Structure 1
Amino acid sequence: MTSLTGHSTRRRRLGATAAAFGLLATLLAAGPAAAVPDPGEPPAKSGKASEQDRTAAGTAARSGKTPAVDEIVHSRNISHLANLPKGDLKSFNTDLAFQGRYAFAGNYDGFTVYDISRPKSPRIVSQVLCPGSQNDISVSGDLLFLSTDSSRSDDSCSSTAQPATEKSSWEGIKVFDISDKRNPRYVSSVETACGSHTHTLMPERKNVYVYVSSYFPDETFPDCKPPHDGISIVKVPRRAPEKASVVDFPVLFPDGGNPGPPENPSAMVPTTGCHDLTVFPKLRLAAGACMGDGILMDVSDPAAPRVVDRVQDNENFAFWHSATFSENGRKVVFTDELGGGAGATCNAEVGDKRGANGIYHITGRGDQRELVFKSYFKIPRHQADTENCVAHNGSLIPVRGRDIMVQAWYQGGVSVWEFTDSTRPREIGYFERGPLADPEAIGGSWSAYYYNGHIYSNDIQKGFDVLKIRDRRTAGAERVRLGELNAQTQPDYR
């Protein structure tokens, strides 16, 4: 799902500040946002990509130069169909989820519901102000889930920042009813240990199990003391979401997790929990990206996941961030969020093995399954030293017989790449903007996912982008249609 892990060591101070950025005094507990835009801020509007960015396609890449400030460039097989500015939610844009003709976009200030029935002209249906870092988002049926990973005065949407050292502070999962997309209704909340940095849905007919990932415990935090070597499992009854509750906290690392290489303790972040999990419900598998560890889990019993294998890469992985299965579930792509999303790590100095993806094959059966490393992949386009860039959130482009993924790289843009041959991955398309005008600003694509024929990207600063890829290698995906997509609950496309 999501992260600015570079800020997370101080997340209970900075996360709360970022969540409140741009908010005015009036906050709504539910319903469409009624916030007033900041003075001078243009109203949100949709529209096709400009002729300038279409004609710029590939120019910077062919010349080998960094694009100009805010210049849009892309490969010839990618079209930029639309951009929709953020509207009334002014803070960082985060993750995306999809259902029917709607996209749901997280923002540190709340979330936005978009109508994407006409991808060239998306429109805002509603916006809900509900501050909390980082408002990681997912949907299932009539329910929408938000992660709060910053200490708040209470669980309401009018809460204020409050130190995690205070026992009364709250952070965790919020649940909304989205049966009326124009008027989402806040129905319940569940406090979880160390909050909820991200969450992953394991949906069933009667209940939705929510795997909550969080980390960085501290002895001074009453509700987040070490050790914190597992995940919270929240059970949400579909017909009574107000009865949602924590049902377990399975310990995934009885030995305490990866402490980091003693000879170079600054090379990676030690394991104190998990950052993100991806489940493959059809195969009853889950892959966990847990700071210093990558894990494979059996989730045959959704309320009692079991670790069956665990891998580490102390040489090149600094922070195991997220995971994506191949279509047949025999491979896992893990991402390394070197620099926590705030660092400029897509340059020649860092190289092509750090801040990259690691491709692993799953071998064996049952509890004998193992993760076997094959290769790294990193975008081949070096970014400016002012651009935060690293491997981040993506999803499969479902093509039978091929392994193709679309992925966000912050200011590195959106990359489409193939790993059918796991030892020789390669980029086959891209879209990116040049550096932000403010060299100190954090920006770029937080999440980029393929959904029903188009690529949707949530840009931290620039808003909601719609892309189209036209390439013989991805053409087979055009026939695939889903009713719902949470990228961390991987569908069976077969």
Structure 2
Amino acid sequence: MISTKLAAAVCAALLLASACATPEREAQRVGTAPPVVPGTSQPATAPSGSASADDDVMTSDNVKLVANLPRQAPLNGPMAWNSDLAFQGTYAYVGNFNGFSVVDIADPTQPKLVSSVSCPGQQNDVSVHGDLLILSVDETRSDETCTSKHGTKWEGLRLFDISDKKSPKYVSSVATNCGSHTHTMIPGKDGQTLYVYVSSPGPSPDSETCPSPHELIQVVEIPLKDPKSAKVVSSPDIFPDGQQGSFLHGCHDVTAFPEKNLAAAACFGDGVLLDITDPVKPVVLQQVRDTENFDIWHSATFNNDATKVIFGDELGGGGMATCDSKTPETKGANAIYDLKDGKLVRRGYFKMPREQKDTENCVAHNGSLIPVAGKDIMVQGWYQGGVSVWDFTDSDNPKEIGFFERGPDGSGSVIAGSWSAYYYNGYIYSSDIIRGLDVIEISDPLTDPAKQVKMDDFNVQTQKIY
């Protein structure tokens, strides 16, 4: 998803008026600013979620919506968009441009809001490790605190103590060059250290926080017993052949597979395969490009045995209707790469197959594996294209096996729909930007074996073997 600086770059390159609004300008456009209760945790006062009564919900026969938990104050303003998800035990953590929420999913058919923390900052992508929650902030703020305003002084990572789910506490922050669009956790082998790869777009030459050049990622080291002492410990250049594209450098997203000592980085114009045996000093194994089909290399997903990598293309930065007959099936889609003898080899492409209206932003976005032994199956959010479940066991001939979607969003927002769709302990959880947390169930012979897999936690950018 586009940040303010990424939107500006995309607009300059593609002349996309629909993708050019900052949060402040968008709030002015709709006539009101997002409600904010700075630096607080708000306990749940709303009822638990129930199945949506939306008349425009459409699903395949094997998919049904079992619950919807709408956004709640203070995280429900016009630009208080829901973003990424993380899971731990019977809790889901929902990022939001104004902070994050903790949701009790012990009964997935009745999700209950436990707390909402107001802490504004794009995108607030979220991950969790033990009692630590990490937020990515890709927007310049006046300072690092939750009471900050839009400014020029700080962007990066914020850390929270989530030992008390009803009252998460801000712990500290780490400033990073060009902020943090997304981040990826790699647990240290000593069990005492957490490494975090920070991905961010840049450079912005006139920015105090985003100097040029920016062909790098940043590695933050967090001592788990003393997270306040977290700091940047390296800034490796992972582009031995330079970086494709002229208007953005750095990476959008990195997915790590620590058990395989591998990571795959989606870096705007490039895909990069990394050896992360030493997380502080990743080694480049291969750099690949697809100048014919890919616009913005957005995200990466390994299959369960790390013999394939899915790279997604966020054509237009999330602000365009690219799921239409005018856009080729290989653009704004997923490319399937086989990983053979340590090298990536491109095979087929997959794009959500239902044509969307020109008012519906739709492009490949965040998804995860559905853990089925011997099969390669993925669930993925496509903004207003909804949620697609697809099988890429045959790398050359991927196919959709289930879907969920709504009609065009009626809120008037340029951006809407499923930001992230992830499978966790028998259900699909979709973070809908405007409508809140959807809980979806798929019942299909291909995916039913996954219901026997129980996860203790799940952060999509840190893959495990299931």
Q: Map residues 273-422 of structure 1 onto 2, 5 A cutoff.
A: 273-364=250-341, 369-422=342-395
Q: Which residue is equivalent to 1:451?
A: 424
Query: Aligned equivalents of 1:459 and 1:401: distance in 2?
Result: 30
Match of 2:197 in 1: 211
**Which of 29, 32, 41 matches 1:31?**
41
Alpha-carbon distance in 1 for matches of 2:241, 2:445: 48
Alignment match, 1:184 = 168
Shift of 1:448: 0.3
Q: How does 1:19-168 map to 2 (within 5 A)?
A: 22-24=33-35, 26-28=37-39, 30-32=40-42, 44-50=46-52, 71-88=56-73, 89-90=75-76, 91-162=80-151, 164=152
Partner of 2:405: 432
SS at match of 2:317: helix
Of 16-25 and 411-420, the range deviating more from structure 2? 16-25
Deviation of residue 363 (structure 1)?
1.3
1:257 aligns with 2:243: yes
C-alpha distance in structure 2 between counterparts of 1:488 and 1:218, whole Å: 26
| Distance in 2, Cα, partners of 1:286 & 1:247 | 18
Deviation at 1:438, TM superposition (A): 4.7
Whether 1:197 and 2:218 are equivalent positions in the alignment is: no
Q: CA deviation at 1:307?
A: 1.1
Where 1:297 maps in the other structure, the secondary structure is strand
Tell me the SS of whatever aligns to 1:340: helix
Deviation readout 1:73-130 (Å, 9 max, x if unpaired): 1011011100010001021100000000000000000000000000000010000000
- Length-normalised TM-score, structure 2: 0.92
Q: 1:285 to 1:325 in 2, by over 3 A?
A: same
Q: Distance in 1 between matches of 2:63 and 2:8?
A: 34
SS of 2:259's equivalent in the other structure is helix
What CA deviation, in whole Å up to 9, does each residue of 1:59-79 have, x standing for no partner?
A: xxxxxxxxxxx6101011011
- 2:280 is matched by which residue type in structure 1? A
CA-to-aligned-CA distance 1:225-250 (integer Å, 9 cap, x gap): 21100111100011100110010100
1-structure distance, mates of 2:46, 2:357: 29
**Superposition map of 1:229-240 within 5 A:** 229-240=215-226
Superposed CA offset, 1:159-194 (max 9, x none)? 0001x4xxxx10000000101111101101000000
Q: Number of paired residues?
A: 448
SS of the residue aligned with 1:385?
Answer: coil
Task: Note the residue ranges of structure 2 that are not aligned, 5 or more in a row.
Answer: 12-18
The structure that is strand-richer by fraction is: 2
Partner amino acid for 2:186? Answer: M
Give 1:278 deviation, angstroms.
0.2
In 2: Cα distance, 1:216 partner to 1:27 partner: 28
Q: Which amino acid aligns with 1:174?
A: R
Distance 2:381 2:36 in 1: 33
One-letter amino acid matched to 2:231:
S
* C-alpha RMSD over aligned residues: 2.1
Secondary structure at the residue paired with 2:7? helix
Distance change in 2, residues 1:456/1:284 (3 Å): same
1:247-270 per-residue CA deviation (whole Å, 9 max, x = no partner) reads 01001124431136xxxxxxxxx5
1:294-341 CA distance string (max 9 Å, x none): 010000001111111011011110000000000110000000000111
CA-to-aligned-CA distance 1:401-448 (integer Å, 9 cap, x gap): 100000000000000000000000000000000001256531000000
Cα deviation, residue 156, structure 1? 0.5
Aligned to 2:445: 472
- String of CA shifts for 1:331-378, please: whole Å, max 9, x gaps: 0000000011110000000021100000001111xxxx2110001100
Cα separation, partners in 2 of 1:13 and 1:153, compared to 1, 3 Å: farther
3-state SS of the aligned residue for 1:294?
strand
Deviations 1:429-475 (A, max 9, x none): 00000001256531000000000110000000000000011000011
Cα deviation for residue 25 of structure 1 reads 5.6
Query: Measured at CA, do residues 438 and 317 of structure 1 come closer, stay the same or move farther in structure 2, by a change above 3 Å?
Result: same
CA contact (8 A) 1:75 1:429 kept: yes
- Against the structure 1 CA distance between its residues 102 and 17, is the aligned structure 2 distance closer, same or farther, given a 3 Å change threshold? farther
Percentage of pairs with the same residue: 52
